[in-house]
Structure 1
C-alpha cells in the first residue's frame, strides 16, 4: 500500500493552502497562488515557489529565494500539522491494514526530512514501513520500492487526494483510491479511478 500524507493521513491539506496564500499576501496574486497550489497538490513546494516567481511575480528565481521561502513555509505549517486531526477513519483503516501484515509506504510531496520528523513526532512510525518525500517524485518512489520489494502492480494500491497521486498510480499501473475533496471535484469528475470516498470512515 502507498499513501500520500497531507489530506490522506492527516487533515493538513488546507493548512498548506493557507500557508501558500500567507507567503504571498500583499503581492496581488493571492488568488492565482491559491489556484496554482490547488491544481498542483502533491508537487514539491520548491517547484511551486519557482513557478510563482517566474510566472506571476515576473522575477528571476534563485536557490536562495527558494530556501528562504521554504523556511518560512515550514515555520507556518509545522506546528499546525503536528496538531492536525486524522482524516476520518484513517487510524482505524491503517490499524486493520497493519494487522494483515501489509507493507505500507508514504510517498509525499513534503520535503523528506520534514515529513519524517512529523511522522516521528506524531508517533505514526508503527503505521509505515518506509516514509519518503520530495525531492523525488511519487512515481519514482513507488517504482523503486516495488522493484526492491518485488511487489506486483496488481497487488498494490495508492491512496491519494491530489492529481499527482492519481498520476503516480497510473504511471506505476496500480489501482487508485481517491480521497475526494471539494477542491478537486472537477478533476475527479474527469478521470477514472477504482475506489473513492470523502474519507475512510465507512470502509469495512
Structure 2
C-alpha cells in the first residue's frame, strides 16, 4: 500500500491569492475525472448554524461521548454523531454539549463547484480544500514518470498542517506526491520541487504525512 506526502509551496495571509495559487497548481494536473472535497471543524454552535444556512447540503458530524465510543450501536447514536445535513441539525444548543468540535464536509464534487462558497464561509475556522485524482505530468528528461494515484493539491485554512493541529492566521498550499523513502532519502521530493517550479512556486517546508 502506497502513501502520499504533501509539501508546502506557498503561504500567505491573502486568501484570494492563496486560492488562486492553489488553483493554478491544480490546473497543472487537472484531468477529466478530477474532483474536489472540502472539510472544516467548528468549535461553536453559532458557527455550525451559520455555515448550515450558507451551505445546507454539507454533512455535519459531532463527537461521540466517552460512553458511546465502542459501546453503542450506530442505530442508537444521535443523528448529529452519525452525520446529518444542515436541515437535520439539532436546534437545541444543549444537543451540542460534549460534541465539539463539529466536523463538516463534502466530497467527490466537480472541480469548481464548491471552492468559492466554502472560501466565503470558512471564516476563522480550520479546514481545507483538497483537489484529488489529478494527473501530474511526466518529465522523462528529469527522471519523473508522472503520478495519478497520489496527485493532489490542498489549500489549508487557518492552519499550517494537514492534521489541523497548528493554528495560524494565513493559508498554505500543499502539493502531494507519492511517498518513497530508500536509505533514509525521500526519493520523490525532487518531483515535488519540479512540479512547484513548473507553475512559478517553490517548496518552502518539509513534507507532511497523515
Superposition TM-score tier, normalisation by shorter sequence: under 0.3
Question: TM-score normalized by structure 2?
Answer: 0.25
Comparing both structures, which one devotes a greater share of its residues to helix? 1
- Per residue, is there more strand in 1 or in 2? 2
- Greater Rg over alpha carbons, structure: 2
